[in-house]
C-alpha cells in the first residue's frame, strides 16, 4: 500500500500552491529592487511567456489530458484570440476602422476568447463524431485555414505584414504598457494564470470533469453510464479554445505586434510538446512543461536553426521513454526502484 | 483550349505526386491502422537524396533514382522498426503513435534543412536537349510526361504486386486480420515493415518526379502534406484506388481553382472540400472502412 504523505493530501497541495504563488509574486519584486540577481528586463518577458503558455497548455490539457481528444490545431485558437483582440481594440483596424469605436483591451481579449470558444464548439460538432486520426487531420486543416485567412485576407489583417502598435492593456486607470513596466504586466499575467488554474481544478473535480475522464477512458461505457458524450466533447473543445484564445490575447498585448507567422502549424506542435513534456492529465504538468520548454526555447536562441530539430527529438524521446512527462518522472523512478528492490528480494 | 490542356497536364502532374503520397498513406492505414504524418517529408527527403546523387555528384539519372528509392525504402522500414513497432509493443495509445510520426516528420524536415541548407535548390533537368513535346498545339515538358507515366506505371505495378504475388497476398491478409494471418504462417511484423518501406519508396519516387518542377526545398513537404491527406480522405482513407482518384481530383481542383478563380483561395477550397467529405461522407468516394 502506498502511504499518503502530507504533500499528497488536499491540505498539503493547497499549502504548496499558496507557497508557489507567493514565490511567484515575491521573487520578481525582489529582482526589480535589485535584491537578488541583476535587473534584466528580458527576464520578465520570459516570465510572462511562461505564464501565457501555462494557460495555453492547461487549456490543451483539458482537451487532451482529461477528455482524450487530440488537437494539432490549437495555434488556430491562439490566432483567433490574438487577432480577435487586436481587431476589436485597434483604432486603425477591424472594429476601430469600421465604426470608430474600440473596446478596452482586457474586454477585447475576453470577447476574442469567447469567439475562439464559439469556433471551438463549432469545430467540435463534426469532430465529436470522428475517430482520433480524422480528428488530428481536421484540427491540422483548421489550423491551416485560420493561418491562410490571417495571411490572405489583407483587408482585414494586413496580410503577412502584420499589424503594429497594438494598444496596451489599461485596467482601473492603471496602464499595463510593456514599454514602461514589464513587471506590472507579469503580475497581470500571473493573476490570470491563477484564475485559469483555479477554474481548471474546479472543472476537473466537478461532475463535468468526471464525465470528461469517463470519455477518455472509454467513450462507449461513458455513454452507457449516461454521459452525453457529444455534448461533453463539445464543451471540452470550447473550454480549451477559450483558454488558448485568452492566452493569445494576453500574448499579443504584451508583444505589441501581430503577424500570421506566429500561428503556423509548428506552434501547435510546440504546444503539444509542452504538454507532453510536462505531463498531461494533472495540474502541475502543464506549468512545468510550459516553463521548461519556454526556457529551452529562449535559451537556445543562438541555435536558431537547430531549434525545431531539438523539439522533434525531445518529443520523440518523450513519447518513446517517458509518456507521462516530467511530472510523472517521480512515479517512474520510484516504480523502477521498487521493481529493483522486489527483484533483489526475489533473486 | 490550349491553356486548358496545359492546365490539365499541370493538374495531373500535381495529382500524380499527391497520389504517390496518398497511396502510401492508405497502404499504411490498411496494414496497421495508423496515420503517418511523415510521408510528405519523406517525399522531400527523397528528392534531396536524389538531388545529391544526380545534381551534385553527377551520377546518371536512372542510377540515382534507383539508389535513392532503395535508401528511402530502408528509411521507411527503419522508422517502423525503431519507433512504431516499439510503441505498438508497449500498447501505447494511438494518439502517441500519430504524435511520434509528427515528431519524426519534424526531425526529417530539419535534418534536410541542416544538410542542404534552407535555400531552394535547382534540380537539373532530366532530359538533355529539347525539353518539350508537342501535343496538338500545346508544348508539354518531358519531365511532366515522365512524372505522369512513371506514377501510372508505379500504381499499376503496385496493383499487380498486391494482387498477383505471394508477398502481396500476405500483406493484404495481414492487413485484414493480423491474428489469422500469423496463424497461417505469415510474418506480420515483416509485412508491416515492408508496407512502411514501400510507402516511403513511393513517396521518394513522387519527390524525384516533381523536383524538376518544384525545386528541392526543405519546406516542400509542408506545402503538400495536407493535400495528400485531402486526396486520401476524398478517395476513402485506406483504399488504394480511392487514394489515386482522390489525389488526382485534388491536383486538378487546385490547379483549376488557382487558374480560374484565385490562387489565394485554392488551398482554402481544397481543405474545405476535405472537411466537407470528412463530415458528410467519411468513407470517401470508394467507401473505405474508416470507423473502428
- The DSSP secondary structure of A125-165, one letter per residue, reads HHHTTS-HHHHHHHHHHHHHHHHHHHHH-HHHH-GGG-B--
Containing domain of residue A284, as a range? 40-346
CA distance A118 to B14: 36
pLDDT value of position B283: 79
Q: Which set of grid coordinates corresponds to residue B84?
A: 512504431
Q: How far apart are CA A120 and CA A126, in angstroms?
A: 11
Q: Which of B103, B233, B267 sits opposite A319 (nearest CB)?
A: B103
A22 Cβ neighbours under 8 A, 6+ residues apart: none
Nearest CA to B15 among B234, B276, B215, B222?
B234
B264 reaches A (C-beta below 8 A): yes
Q: Test A134 with B267 for CB contact under 8 angstroms.
A: no
CB contact under 8 A, A316 and B95: no
ipTM of the modeled complex: 0.83
Minimal C-alpha gap between B179 and chain A (Å): 23
Confidence at residue A339, expressed as pLDDT on a 0 to 100 scale:
65
What local confidence, expressed as pLDDT, does residue B210 receive? 86
Per-residue confidence band for A247, with pLDDT thresholds at 50, 70 and 90: very high
Question: Scanning the structure block, which residue is given the C-alpha cell 482529461?
Answer: A66
pLDDT tens-digit profile, chain B (292 residues): 778 888 888 899 889 989 989 999 888 888 888 888 898 899 999 999 998 988 888 888 889 999 999 999 999 999 999 998 888 888 887 778 888 998 999 899 989 988 888 888 888 777 766 667 777 677 778 888 888 888 889 888 988 988 888 888 888 888 888 888 888 888 888 888 989 999 999 999 988 888 887 777 888 888 888 888 889 888 888 888 888 999 999 999 999 988 888 877 888 888 888 888 887 887 778 777 655 4
Rounded to 5 degrees, what are φ and ψ at B262?
Answer: -165, 135
**Pairing status of strand B138-141 against strand B132-135:** antiparallel
Q: Does A325 score more than 90 pLDDT?
A: no
Instruction: Tell if the CB–CB gap between A145 and B109 is shorter than 8 Å.
Output: no
Q: Which range has the worst mean pLDDT, A72-76, A206-210, A235-239, B137-141?
A: B137-141
pLDDT of residue A79: 92
A272 in contact with chain B, both atoms CB, cutoff 8 A? yes
Q: Which residue of B has its CA nearest to A139?
A: B275
C-alpha cell, B148: 505522369
Please give the mean pLDDT across all residues of chain A: 81
Q: What's the pLDDT score for residue B42?
A: 92
Q: CA A119, CA A145: separation in Å to the nearest integer?
A: 13
| pLDDT surpasses 80 at A18 | no
Share of chain A above pLDDT 90, in %: 13
pLDDT recorded at residue A2:
46
CB contact under 8 A, A316 and B279: no
As a three-state string, the secondary structure of A104-129 is: CHHHHHHHHHHHHHHHHHHHHHHHCC
Confidence of residue A344 (pLDDT cuts 50, 70, 90): low
User: Which tops the pLDDT comparison, B49 or A329?
Assistant: B49
Q: How confident is the model at residue A1 (pLDDT cuts 50, 70, 90)?
A: very low
* pLDDT tens track for A179-225: 667 777 888 888 899 899 989 988 888 888 888 888 888 888 888 88
Torsions phi, psi of B48, nearest 5?
Answer: -65, -40
Tell me the chain A residues in contact with residue B38 when contact means C-beta distances shorter than 8 Å: none
Is B275 close to A126, i.e. CB distance below 8 A?
yes
SS3 helix, strand, coil % of chain B, rounded to 5? 75, 5, 20
Q: For residue A136, give the nearest of B35, B106, B290 by CB distance.
A: B35
Are B84 and B196 in contact by the 8 Å Cβ rule? The answer is yes
In angstroms, the CA B273 to CA B209 distance is 26
Q: What is the pLDDT of residue A35?
A: 56
Model confidence pLDDT, tens digit, residues A91-137: 777 777 777 777 888 888 899 999 999 999 988 887 777 766 778 88
> Can you give the pLDDT at residue A5?
59
pLDDT in tens, A255-280: 888 888 888 888 888 888 888 888 88
Compute, in degrees rounded to 10, the torsion defined by CA atoms B238, B243, B245, B251.
Answer: 150
Asked whether residue A33 is domain-assigned, the answer is no
In chain A, the number of structural domains is 1
The distance of B52 to chain A (nearest Cα, Å) reads 21
* Residues from chain A contacting residue B267 (CB–CB below 8 Å): 144, 148
CA–CA separation, A37 vs B142, rounded Å? 67
Task: Using alpha carbons, list the distances in angstroms from residue B231 to A152, B15, B26, B195.
Answer: 24, 9, 10, 19
Is the Cβ–Cβ distance between A299 and A292 less than 8 Å? Answer: no
Amino acid at each position: 500500500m502506498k502511504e499518503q504523505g502530507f504533500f499528497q493530501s488536499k491540505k498539503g497541495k493547497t499549502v504548496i500552491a499558496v507557497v508557489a504563488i507567493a514565490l511567484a509574486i515575491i521573487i520578481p519584486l525582489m529582482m526589480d529592487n535589485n535584491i537578488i540577481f541583476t535587473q534584466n528586463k528580458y527576464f520578465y518577458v520570459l516570465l510572462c511567456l511562461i505564464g501565457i503558455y501555462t494557460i495555453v497548455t492547461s487549456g490543451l490539457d483539458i482537451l487532451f489530458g482529461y477528455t482524450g481528444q487530440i488537437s494539432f490545431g490549437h495555434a488556430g485558437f491562439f490566432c483567433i484570440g490574438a487577432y480577435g483582440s487586436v481587431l476589436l481594440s485597434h483604432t486603425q483596424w477591424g472594429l476601430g476602422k469600421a465604426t470608430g469605436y474600440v473596446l478596452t483591451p482586457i474586454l477585447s481579449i475576453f470577447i476574442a476568447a469567447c469567439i475562439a470558444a464559439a469556433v471551438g464548439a463549432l469545430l467540435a460538432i463534426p469532430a465529436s463524431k470522428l475517430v482520433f486520426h480524422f480528428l488530428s487531420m481536421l484540427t491540422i486543416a483548421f489550423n491551416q485555414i485560420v493561418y491562410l485567412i490571417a495571411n490572405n485576407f489583407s483587408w482585414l489583417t494586413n496580410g503577412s505584414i502584420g499589424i503594429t502598435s497594438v494598444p496596451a492593456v489599461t485596467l482601473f486607470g492603471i496602464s499595463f504598457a510593456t514599454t514602461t513596466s514589464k513587471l506590472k504586466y507579469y503580475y497581470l499575467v500571473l493573476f490570470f494564470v491563477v484564475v485559469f488554474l483555479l477554474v481548471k481544478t474546479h472543472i476537473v473535480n466537478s461532475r463535468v470533469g468526471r464525465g470528461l475522464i469517463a470519455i477518455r477512458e472509454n467513450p462507449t461505457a461513458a455513454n452507457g453510464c449516461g454521459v452525453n458524450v457529444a455534448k461533453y466533447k463539445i464543451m471540452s473543445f470550447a473550454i480549451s479554445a477559450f483558454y488558448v484564445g485568452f492566452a493569445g490575447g494576453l500574448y499579443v498585448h504584451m508583444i505589441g505586434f501581430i503577424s500570421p507567422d506566429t500561428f503556423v502549424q509548428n506552434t501547435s506542435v510546440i504546444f503539444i510538446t509542452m504538454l507532453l513534456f510536462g505531463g498531461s492529465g494533472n495540474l502541475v504538468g502543464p506549468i512545468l512543461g510550459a516553463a521548461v520548454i519556454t526556457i529551452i526555447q529562449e535559451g537556445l536562441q543562438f541555435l536558431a536553426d537547430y531549434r525545431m530539430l531539438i523539439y522533434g527529438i525531445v518529443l520523440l524521446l518523450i513519447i518513446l521513454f517517458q509518456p507521462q512527462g516530467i511530472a510523472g518522472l517521480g512515479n517512474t523512478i520510484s516504480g523502477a526502484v521498487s521493481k529493483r528492490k522486489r527483484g533483489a528480494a526475489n533473486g | 483550349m490550349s491553356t486548358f490542356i496545359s492546365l490539365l497536364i499541370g493538374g495531373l502532374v500535381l495529382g500524380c505526386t499527391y497520389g504517390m503520397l496518398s497511396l502510401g498513406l492508405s497502404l499504411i492505414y490498411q496494414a496497421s491502422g495508423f496515420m503517418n504524418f511523415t510521408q510528405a517529408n519523406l517525399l522531400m527527403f527523397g528528392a534531396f537524396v536524389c538531388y545529391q546523387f544526380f545534381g551534385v555528384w553527377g551520377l546518371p539519372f536512372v542510377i540515382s533514382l534507383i539508389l535513392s528509392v532503395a535508401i528511402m525504402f530502408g528509411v521507411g522500414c527503419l522508422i517502423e522498426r525503431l519507433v512504431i513497432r516499439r510503441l505498438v509493443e508497449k500498447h501505447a495509445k494511438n494518439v502517441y503513435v500519430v504524435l511520434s510520426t509528427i515528431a519524426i516528420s519534424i526531425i526529417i524536415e530539419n535534418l534536410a534543412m541542416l544538410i542542404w541548407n534552407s535555400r531552394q535548390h535547382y534540380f537539373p533537368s532530366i532530359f538533355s536537349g529539347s525539353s518539350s513535346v508537342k501535343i496538338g498545339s500545346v508544348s508539354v515538358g518531358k519531365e511532366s510526361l515522365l512524372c505522369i507515366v512513371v506514377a501510372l506505371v508505379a500504381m499499376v505495378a503496385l496493383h499487380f504486386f498486391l494482387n498477383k504475388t505471394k508477398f502481396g497476398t500476405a500483406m493484404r491478409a495481414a492487413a485484414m486480420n493480423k491474428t489469422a494471418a500469423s496463424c497461417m504462417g505469415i510474418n506480420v511484423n515483416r509485412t508491416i515493415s515492408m508496407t512502411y518501406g514501400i510507402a516511403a519508396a513511393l513517396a521518394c519516387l513522387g519527390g524525384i518526379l516533381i523536383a524538376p518542377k518544384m525545386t528541392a526545398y526543405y519546406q516542400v513537404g509542408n506545402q503538400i502534406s495536407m493535400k495528400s491527406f485531402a486526396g486520401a480522405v476524398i478517395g476513402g482513407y485506406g483504399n488504394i484506388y480511392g487514394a489515386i482518384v482522390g489525389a488526382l481530383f485534388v491536383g486538378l481542383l487546385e490547379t483549376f481553382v488557382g487558374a480560374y478563380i484565385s490562387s489565394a483561395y485554392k488551398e482554402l477550397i481544397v481543405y474545405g472540400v476535405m472537411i466537407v467529405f470528412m463530415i458528410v461522407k467519411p468513407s470517401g468516394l470508394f467507401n473505405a472502412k474508416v470507423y473502428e
